[in-house]
Amino acid sequence: MFPLRFPYFADLETLPRPIPTSDEIECSEEVLYQAGGSKVVGIGPYVVKFGRQVDLLEGENMLFVAHSTTVPVPLVYALFRDPLREKSYMVIQRITGNTLKSEWPSVSNIQKEAIATKLGSILRELRSLPSPGGYCSLSNRPLLDNVFWTGSASEKIDGPFRTEGEFNEAMLEKYIFNNGSQNKAEFYKQTFPSIFRDHPPVFTHADFQRKNILLRSVGETEHDVDLVLLDWEFSGWYPAYWEYSKALYACGRWDDDWGLWVNRIFEPDLYLSEWLWMWMLLLELWS
């Protein structure tokens, strides 16, 4: 099944209604999100992400996860390109629910326990997916995490990488690309091998934060929660510390207790030393 042939369309009998055309998508007035070269709109039972900067690998990732695991993801109905508009279109299932970010203030402690348990189980299942040959995206392609984004393809920076050493060198290249201090780059070069080592490539969501976790429903008891993971654009095989480090970094100013629950979710896979180094590097890359 992977890599997919494009265009991809789900079997007709699985569709809630015909797939909207690119013209219909462009005319949708239900704009859910828009930034840069990417836009998300609603059309009946569908949510469509499209634009010149949309990479259909995100849809492939969701199909791969749905095919290979029991992890809850939106159904993918179509992945196609419009060569005249030079845009890509990803048509997925519209799911009723609210993000965990919006629901967290009203979630009970018992529900938080249930959510943490379920998310921990989801991450463990994802991490069990074998790598196709190193640190890479699906089908041994470059990584899309914005840590490696430069605006143009560069195997030296976005991979794929055969070893963790090559992965470390890519982070240094990106640091230099972002006009980081040459002296600090040399410091990183000397220290990274002792910090970032012996971490196997594991399948990683790579944007694990509450805005990308949908709380679809709560069952008859507070222990029964239905979650769906969204936004699989950056997913791939990263060093084992990556998911935890990025999740803690996304806690921002720690205005509530989510960061404490992140530790509960990831136990026993806590990479405290690696997180501190990643936190320092990410602050410099994105400040």
CA-based torsion, 155, 39, 28, 77: positive or negative:
positive
Q: Which of 26, 58, 93 is the last residue of a domain?
A: 93
Q: Report the pLDDT value the prediction gives residue 232, as an integer from 0 to 100.
A: 98
Q: Please indicate, yes or no, whether residues 121 and 238 belong to a single structural domain of this protein.
A: yes
Q: Report the pLDDT value the prediction gives residue 171, as an integer from 0 to 100.
A: 97
Q: Give start and end residues of each alpha helix (H) in 14-108.
A: 22-26, 57-68, 100-103
Q: Long-range contacts made by residues 148-157, C-beta under 8 angstroms, separation at least 24?
A: 148/174, 150/174, 150/177
Q: Which of 41, 59, 93 is the last residue of a domain?
A: 93
* Residue 162: both structure tokens together: 């055969």
Q: Please indicate, yes or no, whether residues 248 and 199 belong to a single structural domain of this protein.
A: yes
Q: Say if 2 falls within a structural domain.
A: no
Q: Say if 125 falls within a structural domain.
A: yes
Q: For residue range 216-235, list pLDDT tens digits in order.
A: 876 666 667 899 999 999 99
Q: Please indicate, yes or no, whether residues 87 and 147 belong to a single structural domain of this protein.
A: no
Q: Please indicate, yes or no, whether residues 248 and 161 belong to a single structural domain of this protein.
A: yes
Q: Say if 19 falls within a structural domain.
A: yes
Mean pLDDT of the chain: 94
Q: Please indicate, yes or no, whether residues 75 and 142 belong to a single structural domain of this protein.
A: no
In the numeric block, the tokens 């326990």 are attached to 113
Q: Say if 113 falls within a structural domain.
A: yes
Q: Please indicate, yes or no, whether residues 141 and 227 belong to a single structural domain of this protein.
A: yes
Q: Report the pLDDT value the prediction gives residue 224, as an integer from 0 to 100.
A: 79
Q: Which of 93, 110, 127 is the last residue of a domain?
A: 93
Which phi and psi angles does 92 have, rounded to 5°?
-130, 170
Q: Please indicate, yes or no, whether residues 233 and 200 belong to a single structural domain of this protein.
A: yes
Q: How many domains does the chain divide into?
A: 2
Q: For residue range 57-106, list pLDDT tens digits in order.
A: 999 999 999 999 999 999 999 999 999 999 999 999 999 999 999 999 99
Q: Please indicate, yes or no, whether residues 235 and 113 belong to a single structural domain of this protein.
A: yes
Instruction: For residue 234, give its domain range.
Output: 98-286
Measuring CA to CA, how many Å separate 166 from each of 26, 150, 280? Answer: 41, 17, 20
pLDDT at 201 over 80: yes
